[in-house]
Amino acid sequence: MQPPQTAASLNTQENVPAAELNRRIASLQAHLLQGNVDAALILQATDLYYFSGTTQQGHLYVPMEGDPILMVRKSIERAQAESNLGMVRPLAGLSQIQQILQAHGCAAPHTLGMELDVLPVNLYRKYQHLFAGAEIVDISHAIRMVRSIKSAFEIEHMTRAAKRADQVASFVKEELSAGITEVALAGRIEARARKLGHQGMVRMRLWGSEMFYGHLMAGAAAAVPSALSSPTGGAAMSPAFSQGPGFNTIHPHEPILLDYVFAYLGYLADHTRIFSLGKLAPELMGAHQVMLNLQSLLKEKMLPGVSAGDVYDMAIDFVDRAGYGDYFMGAEKQRIRFIGHGIGLELDEYPFLAKGQQLPLQEGMVIALEPKLVFPGKGVVGIENTHLVTADGLQTLTRYPDEIEILEM
């Protein structure tokens, strides 16, 4: 008989190292000092993991100076096994927070930073009452800026995710057959991704946004828009979750879009590839090549210091001159106004390569660049890869061939 699993017996090989956590905390404290914010109280699961190394239910208190304190309601045993922070304390309830802080010599903050971009109003009111003498301010921008620059530790994790994303793309030719439905093909591929270590959840920060593994759609169904902030939506299975694969049968000679995110040890890699059973129409093949040409141009132009909005403007200028402006990143009025996004523990991180964005690119940012063309009634072509920003341009982490893969029927 196997001994029962306990928190003490957990495999801690993949825990975030103490030195990594300390570096992240120090970066956040520099932002607190610059903004004259006495302390931060972090609650959101992804931010909590980033700064503490655990997603157990807790509160991470980070003073402007000094050591952070992680206060955990459930499970304290797991949090102590998973987090490499120096102070991990049990928390019986919200009313105990002040007692713990006072016991560790933390002065009552005059300004308290919280993640107001994601904190529900009812919880905000509770913390207003709990920290009655403090002004609660938004530090979500500072947190997202710290998270936007990836360390060597993070790049290694994302590289591992990218390799698995490439493997997922290779499964299409093994699982695709004439007459299969989108959702049946998706199920086969997702099962194999799970065996590779896919965590089964793709985290997003934007309120109301959610995603499973991604989008697998074919032909005209792939060009159906949805509420998601994405160039593709898909006919889907029902209005209850109106994105992704549906019950449509995949037919020969239509573009099959695989836009999947691989989530491995928390970190994400995002890429899109196009497949077809038999040859595609020349106009679709040509349109896809234009997107590859745009990707090549942007990989050279996306240097540190270039603003995210300028990248978008370069892309718009390119597609307009190529004659595809009405189909770029959506069709006609359904177009979205970005061409890529930062990626890491969440799918929608800084920077956003969107119209008007002033944030400059920096070395160490990781970006999913996704130029796509959407043709109503025909389908979607284009590309997406995950790239690391370097001094010489973009270094691509996802390596599966970019060209449309034509499969025998």
45-52 and 140-148 helices, crossing angle to 10° = 50
Are both 213 and 140 inside the same structural domain?
no
Strand partners, 218: 256
Q: Which two tokens stand for residue 144?
A: 């997202």
Q: In this prediction, what percent of the chain has a pLDDT beyond 90?
A: 87
- Return the pLDDT at 8: 55
Are both 228 and 161 inside the same structural domain?
yes
Average pLDDT over residues 384-394: 97
Q: Which two tokens stand for residue 173?
A: 């030719």
3-state secondary structure of 42: strand
Tokens 């105990």 label which residue? Answer: 96
Are both 54 and 185 inside the same structural domain?
no
Residue finishing a domain among 147, 166, 184: 147
- Return the pLDDT at 233: 86
**What global pTM score does this model have?**
0.94
Render pLDDT for 71-91 as a digit per residue (tens, 0 to 9): 999 999 999 999 999 999 999
* Confidence at 285, pLDDT banded by 50, 70, 90: very high
Residue 131: closest CA among 68, 39, 64: 39
Burial of 245-282, coded b for 16+ CB within 10 Å and e otherwise, reads bbebebeeebbbbbbbbbbbebbbbbbbbbbbbeebee
Question: What average pLDDT does the structure give for the chain?
Answer: 94
1 lies in some domain: no
Are both 391 and 289 inside the same structural domain?
yes
Distances (CA, A) of 387 to 217, 229, 252, 372: 24, 20, 32, 16
Are both 66 and 159 inside the same structural domain?
no
2 lies in some domain: no
Residue 78: closest CA among 16, 18, 17, 10: 10
Are both 385 and 249 inside the same structural domain?
yes
**Residues spanned by the domain of 94:** 7-147
How many domains does the structure of the chain reveal? 2
- Return the pLDDT at 18: 97
Render pLDDT for 53-70 as a digit per residue (tens, 0 to 9): 999 999 999 999 999 999
- Return the pLDDT at 2: 59
Are both 50 and 63 inside the same structural domain?
yes
